[in-house]
Amino acid sequence: MTSEMLAGVRTLPDLDAAGKKVFVRADLNVPLRDGAITDDLRVRSSVPTLRALIDQDASVIVASHLGRPKGAPDPASSMAAVGTRLQELLASDVLVASDVVGDDAMAKAAALKPGQVLLLENLRWDPGETKNDDAFAEALASMADVYVDDAFGAAHRAHASISGVPARIPGYAGLLLERELAVLGGLLEDPQRPYVAVLGGAKVSDKLTVLENLLERVDAIAVGGAMAFTFLVAEGIDVGSSRVETDQVDNVRRLVGAARERGVEVLLPTDVVVAPEFAEDAPATSVAAADIPADQMGLDVGPETAATYAAAITGAGSVFWNGPMGVFEWDAFAAGTRTVADAMAASEGFTVVGGGDSAAAIRTFGLDDKVDHVSTGGGASLELLEGKELPGVVALRT
């Protein structure tokens, strides 16, 4: 699979890394609880590129951000646990620097031997990262001969390690970044038909631009999650105490009208699972979407709706899914998301899960290996499908 998005981008097969120092911008931004990694997908996803470089006898310097530190060292967002997990997955030693571009990092990078791996501390411990500061980018670039970007999850950020470093040393796309661009670019450029988008999550405002762009490409859109209630209000339906973005109702009405004019089928919930409050132990009831009680809120799509969405997925040639159908973390409100995940896993079409909560959901259900692609970038995948140029990709174009 290829994509026009890769035009002008050098990829890992173009790089003779033997004997070179290679700076790899990975996405190792994993969730931590009490200092332990709770989901290592992003670490595992970085391994093929790192292994390919190690096998070429490159000296590999790995850098990533983790969490949202405010430009200063914060032990709660240290890369130490990531270094331990990376060493286990690579089955080779991983040195860990105690800083980003300080004395320890510079000394360890200078002494790095072919086949060795060095993990820098959290890039966002330095304020120069998010500011795309020239001096910080120069310091990072000075450690290496060439640059490899494998951080699709951060490719929509014009940060120093994403845009600044490849402006100073030759840049290449890693195996993960190449795969993400090929898959998602294919959905933009030449999807197998019929093409169905399943969109959920909390806020319409987060998905409005991607909805507008997808309308020109898909054959059907199925809407779930809390954002579905704004769609139902736009259709004139009273949704009780469900979450609604009232400032988006007119935008949604316009969007749905444009979709129908184009012949795009818009699937909305016909039944929902409601509860009197947003709580895990709240009593759950299935009701028709048009009959939501005034004192109840929708927390999942109902079984009829989930079956309709599953049927659309089953009949699709391509499916893009981003956003859960309900509060899947709570058993009483997980069935809609589970039904969609099961349908994705069973589909004979080309199935893509667009990162974020939907990726977490399909992994929770143990079905991530049953779909064609689980993206590592929620925000990046949405921006790419909005038709935006990603700074991380632009920086690699020769």
To 10 degrees, what angle do helices 80-90 and 41-55 make?
60
DSSP string, 97-155: -SSSSSHHHHHHHHHPPTT-EEEPPPGGGSTTTTTT-HHHHHHHHTT-SEEEE--GGGT
Co-location of 191 and 283 in the same domain: yes
Asked if residue 150 and residue 279 are part of one domain, the reply reads no
Say if residue 152 is in the same domain as residue 246.
no
Residue 392 lies in a domain: no
Sequence-separated (6 or more) residues with CB below 8 Å from residue 27: 42, 45, 46, 64, 150, 151, 152, 153, 154, 376, 377
Residue 390, domain member (yes or no)? no
The answer to whether residue 397 sits within a structural domain is no
Q: Would the CA dihedral through 15, 20, 25, 26 be positive or negative?
A: positive
Residue 90 lies in a domain: yes
Distance between CA 51 and CA 257 in Å, rounded? 50
Domain-embedded: residue 396: no
Structural domain includes residue 141: yes
Residue from 229, 101, 248 nearest 160 by CA = 101
CA distance 220 to 140: 45
Distance CA 29, CA 21 (A): 23
Same domain, 198 and 172: no
Tokens 């001096």 sit at which residue? Answer: 135
Are 283 and 275 in contact by the 8 Å Cβ rule? The answer is yes
**Tokens linked to 357:** 């909560």
Residue 82 domain-assigned (yes or no): yes
Pair (43, 141) in one structural domain = yes
Question: In this structure, are 240 and 371 located in the same domain?
Answer: yes
Judgement on whether residues 148 and 203 belong to the same structural domain of the protein: no
Closest to 266 measured CA to CA, from 305, 220, 216, 310: 220
- Bridge-partner residues for 373, per DSSP? 352
Q: Are 66 and 77 in contact (CB under 8 A)?
A: yes
Number of domains in the chain: 2
Final residue of a domain: which of 151, 176, 201? 176
Do 144 and 204 belong to one domain? no
Whether the predicted model's global pTM rises above the 0.85 cut: yes
Q: Are 228 and 301 in contact (CB under 8 A)?
A: yes
* In-domain check, residue 155: yes
For residue 161, the enclosing domain spans 4-176
pLDDT per residue of the chain (398 residues) written in tens, 0 to 9: 567 888 899 999 999 999 999 999 999 999 898 889 988 889 999 999 999 999 999 999 999 999 999 899 999 999 999 999 999 999 989 999 999 999 999 999 999 999 999 999 999 999 999 999 999 999 999 999 999 999 999 999 999 999 999 999 999 999 999 999 999 999 988 899 999 999 998 888 888 888 888 888 899 999 999 999 999 999 999 999 999 999 999 999 999 999 999 999 999 999 999 999 999 999 999 999 999 999 999 999 999 999 999 999 999 999 999 999 999 999 999 999 999 999 999 999 999 998 778 888 999 999 999 999 999 887 888 888 888 889 999 999 98
| Cβ-Cβ contacts under 8 Å for 139 (sequence gap 6 or more) | 101, 106
Residues 152 and 265 grouped into a single domain? no
Q: What is the CATH number of the domain that holds 201?
A: 3.40.50.1260
Residues 130 and 198 in one domain: no
End position of a domain, from candidates 176, 198, 218:
176
The residues pairing with 309 across neighbouring beta strands, listed in sequence order, are none
Q: Which residues contact 190 (CB under 8 A, 6 or more apart)?
A: none
Last residue of a domain, one of 152, 176, 200: 176
Residues making up the chain, counted from first to last: 398
342 and 239 part of one domain: yes
Q: Catalytic residues, which ones?
A: 42, 203, 356, 379
151 and 210 inside one domain? no
